[in-house]
Structure 1
Amino acid sequence: MSRTSSVVILLLLAGLGITATYLVQYSSAPRIEAEQRRIDSHNLLDLLPADRYDNQPLEQPLHLDNTALTNSTLLSGYLASKAGQPAAVLLRSQTIGYAGAIDLLIAIDANGKLLGVKTLKQSETPGLGARIADWPNTWLQGFTGRSLNEPAASGWALKKDQGQFDQITGATITSRAVINAIHDALRYFDEHSHQLIGSNLHE
């Protein structure tokens, strides 16, 4: 076999290999995307009881990109509805803890009550503030059922700051940051309920 023939065969084999790889990736892409959506859906929607909504909240984003609040920033949000009626909003909030940014998911029902809070990302001290990422999280569950006025504004603080909430042991800064971010989200919901869920709760 001549050198030219060998080169041609190698090029053909290489071309076939590249084509096969592309076809495998192309045919796998929908499955990969579907799996990623499933993971995202699980991570973002497990705060909501299944009987609370019947839509696809992740397909109903709220336009909140980088909305700066007093102690935090709203990165994004989603609307959950049932039978065509708003049921809850999911707000992705970012605040600054002891070691860096903490991303929270805050679920608020249509009446302004907290359905739950979950940590999506954090870089706090292992064994201390990093416990904010535990799931389920007993400390975060203590906020469920609270609202902007329950407790009153002065109560949205640590007990050591004359507020109503305990702190994560050894993680005062982390605890303060999370409490302030949750309070920010509730205040934002109260002030913008018409834009978020299409009705004014104070009417």
Structure 2
Amino acid sequence: MKRLARDAGLLLLTGALALSATLAWRQWTSTAVTSAEKRLQSHQRLALLAQGSYDNQPLDTPLPRPAAQRPNSRILAAYRAMRAGKPSAIIIVTQTQGYAGPIVLSVAISTDGRLIGSQVIEQQESPKLGARLADPQVHWLEQFSNRQLTDRWALKRDQGDFDQLAGATVTSRAVITALQEALSYFDEQHTVLLGSSAHE
């Protein structure tokens, strides 16, 4: 009887230790995964800003999302980059509908309303066609750098200022429209986005 009780006690102890180890492992890996996801998100959203152009952690304090959305795109998030207590840029995360599915872009805008740069965060476009917009070797998104709302935001074939991504007219038009609408949103909301320190 004593042996049976001892064996049951050992079994319970072993089970408790195994459960503790499993929970500890889950907690450790969950923290590591969350940390890795945060680093990836930070890289995707802040890579457009020059090193040293901000000294805060913009992603730690997202700005309020707009109640009214754009006609052809949706603002998912906005962040304020600061340098020495003053705004240096606004990062807008926007989503538009491409040819095969949603395209999510990170868009960096300077305090004077110029587009610093844009980067694809997510896309489902056709390989070797629309998906090439995320290819760093194609450089298609670079043509939008330093542009502003008053430029002609359309393809050259539509009397605009921009080249088309070869073989991907729908994708090209969707991205151009999303970038224009991000600049339009900045133009309409710049007081809120830049905050009171922008005017001090």
TM-score between both structures, scaled by the size of structure 2:
0.89
Shift of 1:127: 0.6
**Match for residue 163 of structure 1?**
160
5+ residue gaps, structure 1, are none
Show CA shifts across 1:17-45 (max 9, x none).
11122234335554443333222211211
Same amino acid, percent of matched pairs: 44
Whether 1:132 and 2:133 are equivalent positions in the alignment is yes
**Match for residue 118 of structure 1?**
119
Shift of 1:97: 0.6
User: Contact 2:87–2:194 at 8 Å: present in 1 too?
Assistant: yes
Mean Cα deviation higher: 6-15 or 166-175: 6-15
Whether 1:184 and 2:181 are equivalent positions in the alignment is yes
In structure 2, relative to structure 1, the CA distance for the partners of 1:72 and 1:126 (3 Å cut) is same
Instruction: Read off the aligned partner of 1:191 and give its amino acid letter.
Output: E
Q: Secondary structure at the match of 2:144?
A: coil
Whether 1:81 and 2:94 are equivalent positions in the alignment is no
In 2, the alpha carbon distance for the partners of 1:136 and 1:84 equals 36
TM-score between both structures, scaled by the size of structure 1:
0.88
Instruction: Read off the aligned partner of 1:178 and give its amino acid letter.
Output: V
Shift of 1:85: 0.4
In 2, the alpha carbon distance for the partners of 1:28 and 1:93 equals 30
5+ residue gaps, structure 2, are none
User: Contact 2:55–2:83 at 8 Å: present in 1 too?
Assistant: yes
Q: Secondary structure at the match of 1:68?
A: coil
Show CA shifts across 1:135-185 (max 9, x none).
365110110000111x1xxx2111111111111100000000000000001
User: Contact 1:193–1:199 at 8 Å: present in 2 too?
Assistant: no
Higher relative contact order (CA 8 A, sep 6+): 2
User: Contact 1:66–1:75 at 8 Å: present in 2 too?
Assistant: no
User: Contact 1:67–1:73 at 8 Å: present in 2 too?
Assistant: no
**Match for residue 190 of structure 2?**
193
* Aligned-CA RMSD value: 2.2
Mean Cα deviation higher: 114-123 or 135-144: 135-144
Aligned positions, number: 197
In structure 2, relative to structure 1, the CA distance for the partners of 1:183 and 1:102 (3 Å cut) is same
**Match for residue 33 of structure 1?**
34
Mean Cα deviation higher: 73-82 or 22-31: 22-31
Shift of 1:132: 1.4
Mean Cα deviation higher: 40-49 or 178-187: 40-49
In structure 2, relative to structure 1, the CA distance for the partners of 1:169 and 1:27 (3 Å cut) is closer
